């Protein structure tokens, strides 16, 4: 019950006052399955890309974080080929930083920030991480190509 009323409130806020570059909606009539889109930030290799994400809200939300993954392929050191995201706020303590006071809007904003500022020291994709660290131009070129190929509208 708590989950349903909280999710309704969050979705209503995401609809009326979405964070810049982010949209989120219910997938069909299922309250526990959401979809989101994040626009690639200006002056990042993801610029002009539209990235689709899937959000699965667990039964124990907000005491457990939602599972979020990219449906659109993205070339990024912290996001793997299955779309899984390495980000501390998506995991429970002690390894993660999820707190019930966080919400879906905060998570999507954190993911948008991670897209603009990768963390090569905590990678899911080791080869992309070392490319980001040691061959930045090549990383930027590859990320732009993937954005054009998979996220251009």
Q: Tokens standing for 88?
A: 């501390």
**Which residue of the set 86, 87, 104, 114 is catalytic?**
86
Q: How far apart are the first and last CA of the chain?
A: 38
Give catalytic status of residue 24 as yes or no. no
Q: What sign for the dihedral angle of Cα 83, 87, 89, 90?
A: positive
Please give the Cα distance from 103 to 56 (Å, whole number). 13
- Per DSSP, the three-state class of 83 is coil
Task: Return phi, psi of residue 74, to 5°.
Answer: -140, 140
Q: Is 131 exposed, middle or buried (0-12, 13-18, 19+ CB in 10 A)?
A: buried
Residue 152 to residues 39, 48, 53, Cα–Cα distance (Å): 10, 7, 15
Active site residue ranges: 86
């Amino acid at each position: 019950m708590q989950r349903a009323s909280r999710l309704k409130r969050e979705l209503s806020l995401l609809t009326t006052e979405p964070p810049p570059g982010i949209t989120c909606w219910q997938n069909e009539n299922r309250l526990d399955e959401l979809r989101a889109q994040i626009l690639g930030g200006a002056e990042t290799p993801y610029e002009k890309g539209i990235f689709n994400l899937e959000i699965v809200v667990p039964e124990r939300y907000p005491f457990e974080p939602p599972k979020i993954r990219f449906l659109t392929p993205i070339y990024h050191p912290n996001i793997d080929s299955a779309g899984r995201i390495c980000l501390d706020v998506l995991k429970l303590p002690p390894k993660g930083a999820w707190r019930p006071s966080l919400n879906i809007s905060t998570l999507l904003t954190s993911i948008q920030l991670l897209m603009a500022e990768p963390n090569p020291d905590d990678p899911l994709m080791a080869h992309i991480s070392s490319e980001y660290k040691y061959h930045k131009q090549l990383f930027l070129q590859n990320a732009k190509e993937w954005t054009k190929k998979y996220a251009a509208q």
